[in-house]
Amino acid sequence: MSAPPNAHEAGLAQLLLQREVEALYTHEAELLDDRHFTAWLDLFTADVRYWMPIARNVAFDRPLAEYTRERADANWFDEGKDDLAKRVQQIEGGDHWAEEPRSRTSHLITNVNVAEIRGTEMTVHCRFIVSQNRQAHDVNFFTGKRIDILRRTATLQVAHRAGTFQVAHRTIYLDQSVLLAKSLTTFF
Q: What is the CA radius of gyration of the chain?
A: 18
Q: Which is nearer to another protein, 91 or 122 (CB)?
A: 91
Q: How far is the CB of 169 from another protein (least distance, A)?
A: 17
Q: Which is nearer to another protein, 20 or 66 (CB)?
A: 66
Q: How far is the CB of 162 from another protein (least distance, A)?
A: 27
What's the CA gap between 93 and 71, in Å, rounded? 29
What's the CA gap between 174 and 57, in Å, rounded? 13
Q: How far is the CB of 110 from another protein (least distance, A)?
A: 24
Q: Which is nearer to another protein, 53 or 144 (CB)?
A: 53
**What is the DSSP secondary-structure string of 11-68?**
HHHHHHHHHHHHHHHHHHHHHHHTT-HHHHHTTEEEEEEEEEEPB----TT-GGGSBP
- 108 CB contacts (<8 Å, ≥6 apart)? 29, 128, 129, 130
Residue ranges in contact with another protein by CB under 8 A: 52-54, 56-59, 62, 65, 68-69, 71-79, 83, 86-87, 89-90, 93, 95-99, 177-185
- Phi (first) and psi of residue 61, to 5 degrees: -95, 10
Q: Which is nearer to another protein, 147 or 179 (CB)?
A: 179
- Phi (first) and psi of residue 63, to 5 degrees: -60, -30
Strands 165-174 and 44-53, sheet pairing: parallel
Q: How far is the CB of 149 from another protein (least distance, A)?
A: 21
Q: Which is nearer to another protein, 75 or 153 (CB)?
A: 75
